């Protein structure tokens, strides 16, 4: 069973990505990861590192702390 925090985090990434009008591919380019990795995060299939959370926050023009305001 997926962990609730991964689901909430993935939903937050999707919401912010869409708000900026970015595709998964474009966000992945900004972060420096593969498109499928962003999809896995949004579907709560990946437990990502704090380092990658920081990269995603920067790419979404958010503070790191904003990523945890779930």
Domain boundaries 4-63, corresponding CATH code:
1.10.260.40
Domain boundaries, the chain: 4-63
CA 36 to chain centre: 12
Total-model pTM: 0.90
Token pair 């959370």 is at which residue? 53
Helix (H, G, I), strand (E, B) or coil at 15: helix
What is the per-residue pLDDT across 53-69, written as a single tens digit (0 to 9) for each?
999 999 999 999 998 87
Interatomic CA distance for residues 22 and 18, integer angstroms: 6
* CB contact set of 49 (below 8 Å; sequence gap of 6+): none
Q: Is the pLDDT of residue 21 over 90?
A: yes
Interatomic CA distance for residues 42 and 64, integer angstroms: 17
């Amino acid at each position: 069973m997926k962990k609730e925090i991964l689901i909430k985090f993935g939903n937050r990434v999707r919401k912010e990505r869409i708000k900026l009008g970015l595709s998964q591919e474009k966000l992945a380019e900004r972060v420096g990861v593969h498109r499928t990795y962003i999809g896995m995060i949004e579907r709560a299939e990946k437990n990502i590192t704090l380092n990658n959370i920081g990269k995603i926050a920067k790419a979404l023009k958010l503070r790191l702390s904003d990523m945890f305001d779930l």
